[in-house]
């Protein structure tokens, strides 16, 4: 397996899961959107995962589900005997992270995509509006973590690194993750994890 990543993006989630699985893999840093990388992933986005005998995989939640299905011994998602509700809870959480949490940050980091005006004031207004949505999804995440340091169930899962990778982005806002008590406990727990540390070191984040 070969992971294509850009430091600090949601590709960090896949990087952590690969460390947790413990099987050999390569990791290559790429420039998102570059002509060279678009030959690997035409959308220019990360992560992408190359697997022998198959095309390059894209979309973080799909990659996480593939890794969980391929390495069930890592117990990072519902096992084969899990009931429908266990699968729903995981899928609901991944859908929230990919469909609500991740997009909440787009206007903050790339405001030019959300206005036709090139005026700095207009783009600042987009960024300010994004902070409201970011607070909403962070508040929801905080509520989901109030009873446990794990996002789904009573053990670590593929959802945890996904939430961790994106929650780090709040450090660029004026209300970072430390201001949400349950999220802070979750993040501190993740920061102590050997696989998280190894992946962050590999990406030059620590």
Residue numbers of the domain that contains 50: 2-76
24 three-state secondary structure: coil
Separation between Cα atoms, residue 18 and residue 143, nearest integer Å: 28
* 98 and 179 co-located in one domain: yes
Q: What single DSSP character describes residue 112?
A: G
With 0.85 as the threshold, say if the pTM is over it. Answer: yes
**Looking at 12, 46, 76, which one is the last position of a domain?**
76
Q: How far is the C-alpha of 1 from the C-alpha of 111, rounded, in Å? A: 35
| Whether residue 108 sits in one domain with residue 55 | no
Alpha-carbon distance of 2 to 24, in angstroms, equals 9
In a domain, 200, yes or no: no
Q: Is residue 199 part of a domain?
A: no
CATH of the domain at 123: 1.20.1050.10
Within this chain, do residues 34 and 127 fall inside the same structural domain, yes or no?
Answer: no
Do 89 and 165 share a domain, yes or no? yes
CB-count burial class (<10 Å; 0-12, 13-18, 19+) for 116:
exposed
| Structural domain includes residue 204 | no
Reply yes or no: is the peptide bond before residue 47 cis, omega within 30 of 0: yes
pLDDT in tens, the chain (206 residues): 999 999 999 999 999 999 999 999 999 999 999 999 999 999 999 999 999 999 999 999 999 999 999 999 999 998 878 899 999 999 999 999 999 999 999 999 999 989 888 888 999 999 999 999 999 999 999 999 999 999 999 999 999 999 999 999 999 999 999 999 999 999 999 999 999 999 999 999 99
Same domain, 22 and 63: yes
């Amino acid at each position: 397996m070969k992971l294509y990543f850009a430091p600090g993006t949601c590709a960090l989630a896949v990087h952590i899961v690969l460390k947790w699985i413990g099987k050999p893999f390569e990791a290559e840093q790429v420039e998102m959107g570059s002509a060279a990388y678009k030959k690997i992933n035409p959308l220019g986005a990360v992560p992408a995962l190359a697997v022998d005998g198959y095309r390059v995989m894209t979309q973080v939640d799909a990659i996480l589900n593939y890794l969980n299905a391929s390495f069930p011994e890592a117990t990072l998602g519902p096992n084969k005997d899990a009931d429908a509700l266990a699968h729903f809870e995981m899928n609901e959480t991944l859908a929230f992270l990919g469909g609500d949490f991740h997009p909440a940050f787009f206007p903050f980091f790339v405001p030019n995509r959300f206005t036709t005006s090139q005026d700095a004031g207009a783009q600042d207004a987009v960024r300010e509006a994004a902070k409201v949505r970011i607070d909403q999804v962070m508040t929801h995440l905080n509520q989901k973590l109030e009873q446990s340091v794990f996002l789904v169930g009573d053990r670590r899962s593929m959802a945890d690194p996904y939430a961790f990778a994106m929650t780090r982005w709040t450090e660029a806002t004026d209300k970072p993750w430390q201001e949400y008590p349950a999220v802070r406990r979750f993040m501190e727990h993740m920061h102590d994890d050997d696989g998280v540390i190894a992946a962050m070191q590999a990406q030059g984040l620590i």
